[in-house]
Amino acid sequence: MSRIKIITDSTCYISKEYVDKENLAIVPLSYVFDGVSCKEGFKGEFEEFFKKLGSTKLFPTTSQPAVGDFIKAFNEGLMDNDEIIVIVVSSKISGTYNSAMLAKNMLEDKKITIIDSETSVSNLRFLVEDAVDMAKAGKSSEEIRDYINNKKKNTHIYFSTGSLEYLSRSGRLSGVQATLGNLLSIKPIIALKDGKLELIEKVRGTKKALSSILSKIPEDVKMIGICHILNMEEALKIKTQIQEKFPNVLVTIDELGPVIGGHLGPKTFGICIY
């Protein structure tokens, strides 16, 4: 039976405990903030970054992993395994997939499968966890690849930000739009559709934003990941509401890290539908 190593990137915001327990490999993305370059860490390590982001006009820049980071992870993974499956953040919001493909091409005789998840955060984590379980159950790399490519089509993500300021700082919204939006308490609803972020709706107030997002959850949902940035109180309230409506659905709460969260800002919340 072929031994398969699963590799992903840091934007799945999976726990360090899970990574160690399941022998998962994480290739981190990087960010530069206030002149300091850092590799993205694990949940539980992000609070200081977002507190600083909320108290300064500085804005972080982000970058995909270097090709060399993937080559190192591949070489290490192949020391104890016959094959590697790599599942990464959507290629439409990051160059991570391209870095992984370049690394694979440089190790051309190795059995490495690269999958563009076309998603991120909790939904990427759910895909990775399914792949880990399938590999442990002895499924082939082809079976895992086909399952992930099929499953990713049935995932959805919706975000609403606490403020429009960070979308403005990242160039996704003009300063005037952001100022007017904040004065009117406008909350954007952003979806990850077909692998890319799109503004799909604007509503007034957090309650309406949440109501709109909750109305988009299909009846046949299997798992829901609530994402937040310095907003655990709101995340817990949302979890209670979801569990009342979907009592048999697994609901998790995840913190967003600097690479994804830096463009959204503190008090953001999101719902990932799997």
pLDDT at 167: 60
Residues 6+ apart with CB under 8 A from 50: 229, 230, 258, 261, 265, 266
Q: Which long-range contacts (CB under 8 A, 24 or more apart) does 210-215 make?
A: 210/160, 210/238, 210/241, 210/269, 213/158, 213/160, 213/189, 213/271, 214/238, 214/241, 214/242, 214/245, 214/271
According to the model, what pLDDT value does residue 202 have?
84
pLDDT 10s per residue in the chain (274 long)?
Answer: 679 999 999 999 999 999 999 999 999 999 999 999 999 999 899 999 999 988 888 888 899 999 999 999 999 999 999 999 999 999 998 999 999 999 999 998 789 999 999 999 999 999 999 999 999 999 999 999 999 999 999 999 999 886 666 565 555 444 445 444 454 577 888 888 888 888 788 888 889 999 999 999 999 999 999 999 988 999 999 999 999 999 999 999 999 999 999 878 888 899 999 9
pLDDT at res. 54: 84
Domains, the chain? 4-29+64-153 (3.40.50.10170), 156-273 (3.30.1180.10)
Q: In 95-133, which positions are buried (b, 16+ CB within 10 angstroms) versus exposed (e)?
A: ebbebbbebbeeeeeeebbbbbbbbbbbbbbbbbbbbbe
| b (16+ CB within 10 A) / e for 155-179 | bbbbbbbbbbbbbbbbebbeeeebe
Residue 220 φ then ψ, to 5°: -95, 20
pTM summary value: 0.92
Residue pair 148/166 in contact (Cβ under 8 Å)? The answer is: no
Q: SS3 for 271? A: strand
C-alpha angle with apex 160: 156 to 162, nearest 5 degrees? 155
